[in-house]
A and B are shown apart, each in its own frame.
Chain A
């Protein structure tokens, strides 16, 4: 057994953005950019590690909204259109930069990158990235876990049990329907925990989850091994806490690896640098400048002109940073090992979209971290939460402290002066549905009433996404986030009102089912405070 364990988790999540009511929709690019820059590069990396027979363990959390979007035929076809436009633009760039050899070389590099991405997506993976990830799970290298249904921020939805139970159960069910097995671990949206949440996780069959550092350092009872071993909640669900050192090395804007001067500059994009007329076919409605994904410069320095990006140098730097990361983990383990009765586990969770999208060289860094870790198995071994629990080490029992991985470590990023107005509406809708489901217990509903109520639940879940208050607070696409939130609440109100009044317009209902086509097997009757029992839901008809 190794002296210590490294538990790296990537949490892959995007809000559900799919607009069939429009031919093109800018925010759908979030998914397309993530597929090109993050998910396919990560899969390519996993494929290489498999080819080289590298032994590693890595955890990947796939959110139910992301799972649903990656499966969606409309988004798949739109992604292909998006990728073909990038190939076209990079071809144009090769022509435009004929007289600038350094830029032309990079334009060719991008052209090849997009061509290879297209080949992998359409031919190797046949548009099915989920099966590609599942392959690595089956082969025993990747552990797939999931998250709450629409990434609802659970601590602030906790005014009734139905909201929490449904977010967790629908998330687990979506994952199980797609992958064919139940996840063992769970990523709490925004790492947001409150005492008591573990009861719902246990009910859903979850054995462990992740939380922030202070969830363990400020737990309800004595914690002997600090954050370097999980603790067990009183009901037996284990919690692994984030190692702040590992986060700092990767996340920190100032000290973290991604800020290195050799790495690609995310904010230097030709979409904002070249003439509008030239770029028009690739801009938003031919006029509004957007990121294209073609970026020619490296970070260079905080001020002054940006130097040209050199992929070879950047990848070499990523390898250097991987070696530094592993050396620091060795050091940490050597310090901790003599003090602990069990091998210490260093938990390093990250947003998956950091790797490739924000930090272009991130997948390369991760690949070398896993390669280097596998080279010293007696000292450090990459392990997942399930692996650790399988050792059956004695675990301290305590209730973790409320926490998130957001600013200040608590809930203020998701509830503050900019976005506090949303909660009375979310809570009201949640209470209305919960009470209505209670009233319907023992009554049968007609097929169209059932469709309307299931759709009302989809609308409510989509409104509950943590992404909307997050975006409103961060001040990026606030108009879109506000519209999405209010639209979903309006759709909920319409459906609730329609069922109550017995006047359901099937055209309207169908339109809503087409637009918000997530969670096909959802059952409105599951939105209840007590654990689910379908036997009581049959009887007289609801009028």
Chain B
């Protein structure tokens, strides 16, 4: 019985035990901040540990050997297994530049997969949930070994959102998506402020063409006390003009810059396409990309 289950009725009579319970409950729940000190519970210090046990919910009493035997049986018979009743793709943010994807496909869907073709994890830049995955303009593909069910993804820009689809190119020009993830958001890289506004004489960049959609502004006054810690590293970044400039760009431009950089570095073709993409629709611009190596399980 608790106070919450009691309705007011002056015809109700209580036993002394019930009154004690109510009294304790009132003291426990409604005592003022400086209530009298009472022990939380009466502790019974046992000198010899018990070797047989029961719970207040059961009249059964079990000894150590019985409990151990039941524990062992359950552990052996009910080992964790993953069911595949529903196909799903889960995306988990890890840090500003990484996410994890894992997936489960139903038996019927697995049978539809062409074993001779790679699975494709298509990662979409989806700045926020309000933007439909089909309206995103940037994506990149990662080839997945069909035997794997998990992959660590390297992401091009921090402080923005992503989602993904898992599918296959059943014909060279068709990407068929089997399953789609929910939207996730990765944080900003803590080692670099997005914008530094200062009154000092150092040169600063002001975004002109692209508005800084993500306005993570940190004001640095000209006082050493506020330059402590993380701010120090922020100031040091000014030596790398290019990096600072990159950080001033809007996410879309940073995404673009990132892939241009990849293009130059790896002599491969970036996988962003400024076109509408839809589930199971024909993609005229599918381009295979180099992916990070050795990250998957």
Contact A507 B39 (CB under 8 A): no
User: How far apart are the CA atoms of A511 and B75 in the complex, in Å?
Assistant: 13
| Pick from A194, A214, A425: contact of B190, CB under 8 Å | A214
The reply on B174 being an interface residue by CB < 8 A is no
- A134-B188 in contact given A20-B67, A74-B50, A491-B74 (Cβ < 8 Å): no
B64 within 8 A of A: yes
B259 CB-CB contact with A under 8 Å: no
- Identity of the chain A residue whose Cβ is nearest the Cβ of B28 in the assembled complex: A180
A471 CB–B CB distance under 8 Å? no
Contact of A159 among B57, B90, B193, B226 (CB under 8 A): B90
Residues of B within 8 A of A159 (CB): 90, 92
* In the assembled complex, B77 has its CB within 8 A of some CB on chain A: yes
Which A residues lie within 8 Å of B218 (CB)?
A: 217, 223, 226
Contacts of B50 in A (CB 8 A): 20, 73-74, 77
Contact between chains at A21 and B68 (CB < 8 Å)? yes
A372 and B213 CA atoms in complex are apart in Å by 47
The residue in chain A whose Cβ has the minimal distance to the Cβ of B216 is A218
The interface stretch among B11-19, B40-48, B264-272 is B40-48
Which partner residue on chain A sits nearest B230 by CB separation? A217
* Distance between Cα atoms of A223 and B215 in the complex (Å): 11
Residues of B within 8 A of A179 (CB): 40
Cross-chain contact of B80 among A180, A411, A489 (Cβ < 8 A):
A489
Nearest-CB distance from B135 to chain A (Å)? 23
Chain B contact residues, majority secondary structure: loop
Contact A138-B35, Cβ < 8 Å, known A76-B46, A77-B46, A402-B187: yes
A98 interface residue (CB < 8 Å to B): no
A497 CB within 8 Å of chain B = yes
**Chain B residues with CB under 8 A of A513:** 55, 57-58
B281 to chain A, nearest CB (A): 28
Q: Does B131 contact A (CB under 8 A)?
A: no
Q: Are A77 and B45 in contact (CB under 8 A)?
A: yes
* Interchain nearest-CB distance for B66 vs A (Å): 7
Number of interface residues of A (CB under 8 A): 88
- B47, B64, B74, B231, most chain A CB atoms within 10 A: B74
B200 within 8 A of A: no
Chain A residues positioned under 8 Å from B66 (CB to CB): 507, 511
Check if B70 sits within 8 Å of A507, measured CB to CB. Answer: yes
Rounded to whole angstroms, the CA-CA distance of A131 and B45 in the bound complex is: 15
Q: B28-54 toward A: CB 8 Å interface, digit per residue (1/0)?
A: 110100110101110111111111011
Q: Scan B210-235; emit 1 where CB is below 8 A from any A CB, else 0.
A: 00000111110101111011110000
What number of A-B contacts does a CB cutoff of 8 Å give?
224
Give the distance in Å from the alpha carbon of A43 to the alpha carbon of B186 in the complex.
42
Interface string of B79-92 (1 = CB under 8 A from A): 11111000000101
Contact B53 A514 (CB under 8 A): yes
On whether A491 and B58 interact (CB within 8 A), knowing A74-B49, A213-B229, the answer reads no
Q: Are B187 and A415 in contact (CB under 8 A)?
A: no
Q: How far is the CB of B222 from chain A (nearest CB, A)?
A: 10
Residue contact B60 to A339, C-beta cutoff 8 Å: no
Whether A174 sits at the interface, judged by CB under 8 Å, is no
Q: What residues of chain A lie closer than 8 Å to B45, measured between beta carbons?
A: 76-77, 80, 122, 126-127
Nearest to B27 among chain A residues (CB) is A180
> Does B94 have its Cβ within 8 Å of any Cβ on chain A?
yes
How many angstroms between the C-alpha atoms of A509 and B9 in the bound complex? 39
A494 at interface by CB-CB < 8 Å: yes
Assess whether A427 is in contact with B90, with CB atoms less than 8 Å apart. yes
- Minimal Cβ-Cβ distance residue in A for B158: A218
On whether A493 and B80 interact (CB within 8 A), knowing A74-B50, A223-B218, A415-B92, the answer reads yes
Whether A490 contacts B297 by the Cβ 8 Å rule is no
Complex alpha-carbon distance, A114 and B219, angstroms: 54
Q: Which chain A residues have a beta carbon within 8 Å of chain B's beta carbons?
A: 20-23, 71, 73-74, 76-78, 80-81, 122, 126-128, 130-131, 134-135, 138, 140, 155-156, 159, 178-180, 194-195, 213-214, 217-224, 226-227, 243-245, 332, 335-336, 339, 401-403, 408-412, 415, 417, 420-421, 423-425, 427-429, 451, 483, 486-487, 489-491, 493-494, 497, 506-515, 517
Instruction: Give me 6 other A-B pairs in contact (C-beta within 8 A), A77-B47, A403-B190 excluded.
Output: A127-B43, A127-B45, A218-B187, A409-B95, A420-B100, A515-B67
Binding site for A on B (CB under 8 A): 27-29, 31, 34-35, 37, 39-41, 43-51, 53-55, 57-58, 60, 62, 64, 66-68, 70-71, 74-75, 77-83, 90, 92-96, 98, 100, 102, 104, 149-150, 152, 185-188, 190, 193, 215-219, 221, 223-226, 228-231, 297
Top 6 A-B residue pairs of the complex, sorted by shortest distance between their CB atoms: A335-B225, A77-B46, A214-B190, A410-B95, A402-B187, A511-B70
